Amino acid sequence: MPLWVIKKMNEKDLNIVNLLMKRTENLPDIIHLRAAPIGYELTENDKELLLVTYQKLDDILKEVAAFINVKFPGRQDYIQPWNNIDFDTKIGEMKIVTTDREYTKSAWNKGIFDLKSLIKSLINEVRLLADQEIEIKGNPLFDEKEWDKYFDQRLEKRADQADYFLDMIIEKGLINLNKSTVRKYFKKWFNETQDFDLQIKNGDFAIEFGDIQTVPDFSKDNIPEFLKWFESEGNKFMDYLKEQGVNVKKDSKETIINSGNMIINNNSKIEKQTVKNETEQMETNWSKANVIIALVVGIATITGIIWQILK
């Protein structure tokens, strides 16, 4: 998860960065003064032009930095390029004074180029975010009532997945509440205690990818999975009911676990009994077959003896 957060963008933000670019492009051309020939003495107008240009440039740099800090806090991919903008001649990281006019021009041009590149990157991202903001605002889920309805549907789905769990609570008499009331408590507990990821996909909300999926879709055919979930999450719901003032029967957690284990054991006995019955039936069928075979062999033997006597 990134440590930075992107703020909402709108047309006003786009106008700000566009204006910063325009102001940068309209800076007075002073390169001939910065790289003036050796011996050239600056006039008062030259000095005034340099001062005004440096003030304008300083204002632009400060405003770009402020925009990044407010709209893209912590974004190193913007902060670092801003820190690297420089207009002076250097050797390594050390600033130097040189009479090399071309080197002086190159350093100034590079600084202006880096500043424009940074602002251009800001313009591109702000435009994309502003367009996305317009698209999102057109989504009906931004209506508070629509969102509440949408979110309630997701909570209903989680309550449906826990249906067997809620039935067991009621059937075992662990609480004196009807099914609809228990479902309301379950949804309220889930909403207050379970975290979830809110994502936007294709202009629609998606909240299916976080811990809000924590309830498995189990049934009587999958008791082990139910018990696994109950021991990690379900018993927290029982504690929540107590906190809400619901009278929960003593040892309710153990009752649910024991009931689940009893069903598992019964299912295991039924399977063993089924296998045993099938085995006994097979042995009975084999016994009947053996009797028939022995009877046929006996008749054949007697017939053979009588035939020899008659001969």
pLDDT tens digits for range 162-183: 777 778 777 777 777 888 888 8
Please check the confidence at residue 248 and state whether its pLDDT lies above 90: no
Q: Which helix (H) or strand (E) holds 94?
A: strand 94-95
Identify which of 129-143, 171-185, 226-240 has the greatest average pLDDT.
171-185
Residue given tokens 């003036």 in the structure block: 36
Q: What is the pLDDT of residue 205?
A: 47
Lowest mean pLDDT among 161-175, 217-231, 246-260: 217-231
Q: What is the pLDDT of residue 260?
A: 62
Average pLDDT over residues 260-266: 63
Instruction: pLDDT band for 262, please (50, 70, 90 cuts).
Output: low
Lowest mean pLDDT among 5-9, 74-78, 186-190, 210-214: 210-214
Give dist(CA 213, CA 194) in Å, integer: 9
Q: What is the pLDDT of residue 210?
A: 45
Average pLDDT over residues 294-300: 53
Instruction: pLDDT band for 4, please (50, 70, 90 cuts).
Output: very low
Lowest mean pLDDT among 78-92, 161-175, 241-255, 294-308: 294-308
Lowest mean pLDDT among 104-108, 119-123, 148-152: 148-152
Please check the confidence at residue 116 and state whether its pLDDT lies above 90: yes
Please check the confidence at residue 145 and state whether its pLDDT lies above 60: yes
Residue bearing the bigger pLDDT, 131 or 72: 72
Please check the confidence at residue 144 and state whether its pLDDT lies above 70: no
Q: What is the pLDDT of residue 253?
A: 67
Give dist(CA 49, CA 34) in Å, integer: 11
Residue bearing the bigger pLDDT, 119 or 281: 119
Find the length of the chain: 311
Give dist(CA 118, CA 63) in Å, integer: 13
pLDDT tens digits for range 182-224: 888 888 887 777 655 444 444 444 444 444 444 555 555 566 6
Q: Kindly give, in sequence order, each residue whose CB lies less than 8 Å from that of residue 127, ignoring residues fewer than 6 positions away.
A: 14
Q: Are 96 and 89 in contact (CB under 8 A)?
A: yes
Q: Kindly give, in sequence order, each residue whose CB lies less than 8 Å from that of residue 234, ignoring residues fewer than 6 positions away.
A: 162, 165, 256
Residue bearing the bigger pLDDT, 73 or 291: 73
Give dist(CA 158, CA 294) in Å, integer: 65
Lowest mean pLDDT among 38-52, 125-139, 215-229: 215-229
SS3 of residue 85 by DSSP? coil
What is the torsion angle, in degrees rounded to the nearest 10, for the CA atoms of residue 55, residue 59, residue 62 and residue 63?
A: -170
Q: Which helix (H) or strand (E) holds 19?
A: helix 11-25
Please check the confidence at residue 74 and state whether its pLDDT lies above 60: yes
Identify which of 32-41, 152-161, 262-271 has the greatest average pLDDT.
32-41
In eight-state DSSP terms, residue 201 is E
Phi, psi of 177 (to 5 degrees): -135, 155
Please report how the helices 144-161 and 163-171 are oriented relative to each other, as an axis angle in degrees rounded to 10.
60
The full set of domain ranges for the chain reads 11-137, 140-311
